[in-house]
Structure 1
Amino acid sequence: MSTTTLHYIHDPLCGWCYGAAPLVKAAREVVPVRAHGGGMMAGARRQPVTPQLRDYVMPHDRRIAELTGQPFGDAYFEGLLRDASAVFDSAPPTAAVLAAETLAGRGLDMLSRLQSAHYVEGRRIADRAVLVEMAGAIGLDATAFARALDDAQREELHAHIAETRRLMERAGARGFPSFVLERDGKLTVLDAGAFLGRPQALRDWLRAQLPDDVASQGSAPAAFGCGPDSCSI
């Protein structure tokens, strides 16, 4: 039997991944989607919020909003991006996505909620209390989630990020977000940039591709998004 999966390579703090969130939602209506967190701002790459960081990301964010229609809140622009005590760290929210997936198969729902919490509500999604609160917001048991979060951070997170990086190398994915269609073991990187702001087009394209070989769609994707270790426009 033919099997098809869309691998979604992301980072919770990648603005372009937030811009691609409607594409993920559309794709989930057509094919199974698996999330792979790449640790763009994890470990040594975590960053405190500074005026320099704010000045760097804001033009990117405004461009993302323009191209995709995704909302960015004042609580993010004028709150979180001015909070010198905040730290951007991909590791805890990535662990939260893994925990939600392990607990209830809700990893992508958790990622979507965390993206809204960060970019609209200006919440600190690296903070444990916020992660537990967001788990409750999508209907997960807070106590069970907290245990699963601890397990994910201790046992799964680093291996998951390493496996994501290996998948990127194997598929030829250049950064975040990347969409990799796997059909019968064959990997094809999709040109996600061609679908930004057009989730219906991606939904229709995926439906059209399912019966056929997608190898002809493997041309180099348009340059957009975040690189393996930093975000660029």
Structure 2
Amino acid sequence: MAVVHYFYDPLCGWCYAAKPLVDALGEMPGLAITLHGGGLWAEPTHLPPAKREMIRGADARIAAMTGQTFGPAYLDGLLPDETTVFYSRPTIAAVLAAQSLDAGKALTMLSAIQRAHYVNGKRVVEEPVLIALATGIGLPEAAFTDALRAVPVDAHIDETRGIMAQLGLGGFPSLILEHEGQLYALPHQQFYGKPDLFRQAIEKQFAFV
């Protein structure tokens, strides 16, 4: 089976832009997806107004290019709120915790975090919010809570950054296909908003589908 290594961050707007492309990959037979969370926001961060406005502009471009939804609760509530904390560690820990309980739930948990953040304006760095999202996708509350607090998230982030450095990857999202012992970068920027064309391009280039 071929594997796509997906280097991501739950709080990366361009990873949200790439979500339909990743979903298309997940539907392809003979292809597995391995998630590598990289920690875009390494420490709890309050953003200055200029940075929040820069993100707002990027979000507008993403919405125009991809049709991805940015809800009023995010645009008019969470994003302009100076008390909002951006912090990747707890969100990546949640994806790892979901994966530890059910490997098939990792991408589902990532999607739930993205929707909660960008559409519903939830504070996804907070443990109760992450637990509620996990139960919402069918994971048991107690088991998820234990896993969330125990997963080796710092080691995972360090490993991801090491792999990215080895491969010369400059940021998120990055997609690397491993097929028959070879690694191939999957260009994706030109396919934002065009998941069907993205899938067709991969099917045309590689023989595993």
Matched, 1:134 2:130: no
Quote how far apart the aligned CAs of 1:86 are. Answer: 2.0
Quote how far apart the aligned CAs of 1:49 are. Answer: 4.0
User: Partner residue of 1:42?
Assistant: 42
User: Partner residue of 1:204?
Assistant: 200
Quote how far apart the aligned CAs of 1:93 are. Answer: 0.3
Within 1, Cα distance between the matches of 2:72 and 2:102?
A: 32
Structure 1 spans left out of the alignment, 5+ residues: 213-233
Q: Secondary structure at the match of 1:179?
A: strand
Within 2, Cα distance between the matches of 1:34 and 1:91?
A: 18
Quote how far apart the aligned CAs of 1:94 are. Answer: 0.4
- Equivalent residues in 2 for 1:42-191, closer than 5 Å: 42-43=42-43, 46-105=44-103, 106-152=105-151, 156-191=152-187
Q: Secondary structure at the match of 2:79?
A: helix
Preserved contact between residue 171 and residue 187 of structure 1 (Cα < 8 Å): no
RMSD: 1.3
Within 1, Cα distance between the matches of 2:207 and 2:41?
A: 38
Preserved contact between residue 10 and residue 177 of structure 1 (Cα < 8 Å): yes
Q: Secondary structure at the match of 2:176?
A: strand
Identity percentage of aligned residues: 45
Quote how far apart the aligned CAs of 1:124 are. Answer: 0.5
Within 1, Cα distance between the matches of 2:167 and 2:201?
A: 20
Structure 2 spans left out of the alignment, 5+ residues: none
Alignment coverage as a number of residue pairs:
205
Quote how far apart the aligned CAs of 1:195 are. Answer: 1.2
Quote how far apart the aligned CAs of 1:126 are. Answer: 0.3
Matched, 1:29 2:27: yes
Quote how far apart the aligned CAs of 1:82 are. Answer: 2.6
Within 2, Cα distance between the matches of 1:140 and 1:122?
A: 22
Q: TM-score, normalised by structure 2?
A: 0.93
Preserved contact between residue 29 and residue 203 of structure 1 (Cα < 8 Å): no
Q: Secondary structure at the match of 1:175?
A: coil
Preserved contact between residue 49 and residue 82 of structure 1 (Cα < 8 Å): no
